[in-house]
Amino acid sequence: MNICFLMYPWDEIDPENDTSLALIHECVRRDHGVALCSPANLTIRNSVTNAFCTVINRMDKVPGSLKTFYRQASIREEMLPLAGFDVIFMRANPPLDPLMLNFLDSVKDDVFIINSLQGLREANNKLYTAAFGDSHSNIIPVTHVSKNKKYLVQQIKESKADKMILKPLNGYGGSGVILIEKSAMSNIKSLLDFYVTNSDGTSNYVILQEYIEGADQGDVRILLLNGEPIGAMRRVPGSDDHRSNVSAGGSVAKHTLTKEEKALCKQIGPKLVKDGLYFVGIDVIGGKLVEVNVMSPGGITYMNKVYKTKVQCQVIDFIESKVLDKLKAFDRRSRLRSEVENA
C-alpha cells in the first residue's frame, strides 16, 4: 500500500507527541510506501494532479521509538501523481483550504481519502457540531453562532448562566477560546470588536456557547474510527488556564467512557460514517458534545502512553481493509466486464 499524508511539513513534526508521526511510523513499520505533502505543494502537471512530496525511504529496521524513528528516517523530495497512491490521509491543520479540496476532487474516485472531501467540506468548522439539529439538541450545549455583535451581547445578557464560552469559528487546539462572565459586561463589547471585526472592515463568525458545569475539571477527548470509539482520555486544564487542550498546557489522564458518552458516540457515529468522516476526534464535557475534529484529530500518542497501547494500529488496520475492499471491487468489475466483452 502506498499512502500520502497531506499535512504540515516534516520538520514541523513534534517527534514525541505527534499523532501524524505515530500513524506514519505504523505504516513504515508495515512496509507501506509513505510520502508527505503540504497543501501548498499540490500542483497540476499536464492536466494531472501531482504533489511535491517528501518521501520516506524504506528502512531495513524500523525503530520502535517515535523519537528515534524521526531522527533516523531518511527522506527525499519527489513530484508524484496523487492518483498513484492507494490512500490520501488528510492531516492538515485547520482552517480548511478549499483550494486543496479542489485539487483533490480530480482523484477522489481513484484513491481512498480519509476523511472524505464532502465530509470535510461539511464538517471542517464548528458549525457541524452547532447545527446537529433538534434531534441531537440533548447532546450539545446551548450554542449561538453569529457575527452580529448586538445579537451576541443580547444572548449573554439573557443567559441564565453567569459564564459562557466565546471562541472563533475556525479555531483549533484551544486557540482563541475564552471564558466570559456577566460580571465583566463592560469588557464584552471590546472583546467582540476584537473577535468579530477585522482591520480591513471584514468580519468573522464566532461561537457563543453555554458554559457547562464541571468544565473547569477538563474535558474528554474521544477518538472514533468508522463511527466507533477506539480510545479516550481526560484532558485536565493547567493551573493558570481554563483550556484543557494539551497544546495549551493541559495534562492527560485515563478515562473510562460513561454510559452517557457511549450513548453519545452511538448517536452521532452513523452520521459521521454517512458523511465519510471515518477518523474523528470529539470533545465532550459533562456528556455534552462540544466539538468535532475532522481534519487532524490528535491524542493517539497521549492515549498510548496512558494506556500502554497502540491506537494507531487500529486506524491502519481499517485503512488497509478499505483499500482491500476497493481492490476487490475493481477486480470483480474487471472480471465481469471481460466476461461481457468475450461473450
Residue ranges of domains in the chain:
2-114, 142-210, 215-309
- pTM of the entire predicted model: 0.88
Alpha-carbon distance of 43 to 184, in angstroms, equals 50
Confidence of residue 114 (pLDDT cuts 50, 70, 90): very high
Give the dihedral sign, CA 137/266/21/295.
negative
Confidence of residue 283 (pLDDT cuts 50, 70, 90): very high
Q: Given this model, what pLDDT does residue 176 score?
A: 83
**pLDDT, tens digit, for every residue of 20-41?**
999 999 999 999 999 999 999 9
CATH code assigned to 2-114: 3.40.50.20
Q: φ, ψ for residue 55 (rounded to 5)?
A: -100, 130
Fold assignment, 142-210: Dna Ligase; domain 1 (3.30.1490)
From the candidate CATH numbers 3.30.470.20, 2.60.120.200, 3.30.420.40, 2.40.50.140, the one assigned to the domain spanning 215-309: 3.30.470.20
Could you give the angle at the alpha carbon of 272 between the alpha carbons of 287 and 2, nearest 5°?
125
Mean pLDDT score, 319-332 = 93
Mean pLDDT score, 94-108 = 93
